[in-house]
Amino acid sequence: EPEVTQTPSHQVTQMGQEVILRCVPISNHLYFYWYRQILGQKVEFLVSFYNNEISEKSEIFDDQFSVERPDGSNFTLKIRSTKLEDSAMYFCASSSRGNSYNEQFFGPGTRLTVL
Amino acid sequence: ILNVEQSPQSLHVQEGDSTNFTCSFPSSNFYALHWYRWETAKSPEALFVMTLNGDEKKKGRISATLNTKEGYSYLYIKGSQPEDSATYLCALIYNQGGKLIFGQGTELSVKP
C-alpha cells in the first residue's frame, strides 16, 4: 500500500542553524501539507501546497519557513534559523484532492530537537 | 480562533469493554470532520471523513456519528481490543481548502 515517508526520523540541531525536513508524498497525490505538534499541544497546521505554490499558510509559517517540491517527488520544509520553540514533531501529509472530503495521508513524522 | 475539543483526554478500559469519545466543534464553521487513529511511532491513519449532518460511518468495530447542527461527533469502539490502544484525533475542515484543525486527541489504553 502506498505511504508517505519522511526523513530523517529525528533531527537534532543547534539554535540558529538551518534544517531541511524531507517528505516523499504518495506518487499520484497533488496536494501537500505540513503540520507540527509541540509536545503536549495539539497538532497544528503550517502550510498547504498545490501546483508548486503555497495555497494557505498559518501564522506560524513566517519568513523563517519555506517549502519546496524540488524534483517532482520530494516535498521539503526548510527552517532557516531554528529557534528553541521550533522543537516539535513535524508531519507531512498528502491527498489526491484538496477539498474537505478527501482524507489526508500522513507520514510518520520527523522529531526536531533544537538545542 | 476555531477550537476543536475532544473528551475525555485519556481512557483506560479492559479488553471487551465498549467505549466512546466526543469531538466538539463550532457548528457555524463546518465543511467536514475527519477522524484519525494514531499509534505511537506510526503515521496517523484516517478512519472516517464525515460531511453530512446525521452521517453514520462504520469500519469493523469502530463507528462514528455526526451532528453538525449542535457541533459534535461521537466515535464508538465496540468490544475494545488491546490493538485498539492509540490516540484518536478528530479534525475539522471549515472551508474548501484542506486545512485540518485538530482536537487534542483522546488517548485510549485497552488492557488485556
One DSSP character per residue, B46-99 reads EEEEE-STT-EEEETTEEEEEETTTTEEEEEESS--GGG-EEEEEEEE-SSS--
pLDDT in tens, B33-83: 999 999 988 999 999 999 999 999 999 999 999 999 999 999 999 999 999
| pLDDT (average), residues A56-60 | 94
B59 in A contact zone (CB under 8 Å): no
- Mutation target vs B (from A43, A61, A89; most B CBs, 10 A cutoff): A43
Give the Cα separation of B28 and B13 in Å (integer). Answer: 34
pLDDT in tens, A11-52: 999 999 999 999 999 998 999 999 999 999 999 999 999 999
Whether residues A45 and B101 touch (CB distance < 8 A) is answered with yes
Whether residues A98 and B98 touch (CB distance < 8 A) is answered with yes
Burial class (CB in 10 A: 0-12, 13-18, 19+), B25: buried
Give the Cα separation of A115 and A69 in Å (integer). Answer: 28
Comparing A64-68, A92-96, A99-103, B59-63, which segment has the lowest mean pLDDT? A99-103
Q: How far apart are the first and last CA of chain A?
A: 37
Q: Pairing between strand B101-102 and B86-93? A: antiparallel
Q: In 3-state terms, what secondary structure has residue A84?
A: helix
Q: How far apart are the first and last CA of chain B?
A: 41
Which chain B residues contact residue A102 at CB under 8 A? 49, 98
Whether residue B2 contacts residue B92, with contact meaning beta carbons closer than 8 Å, is answered with yes
Whether residue A114 contacts residue A83, with contact meaning beta carbons closer than 8 Å, is answered with yes
Q: Which helix H or strand E contains A67, and what residues bound it?
A: strand A65-68
Burial A20-39 (b: 16+ CB within 10 A, else e): ebbbbbbeebebbbbbbbee
Is pLDDT above 80 for B96? no
Whether residues B98 and A104 touch (CB distance < 8 A) is answered with yes
Pick the residue from chain B with its C-alpha nearest to A100: B98
Give pLDDT, residue B11. 96
Q: How far is A48 from chain B (nearest CA, A)?
A: 7
Which chain B residues contact residue A98 at CB under 8 A? 97-98
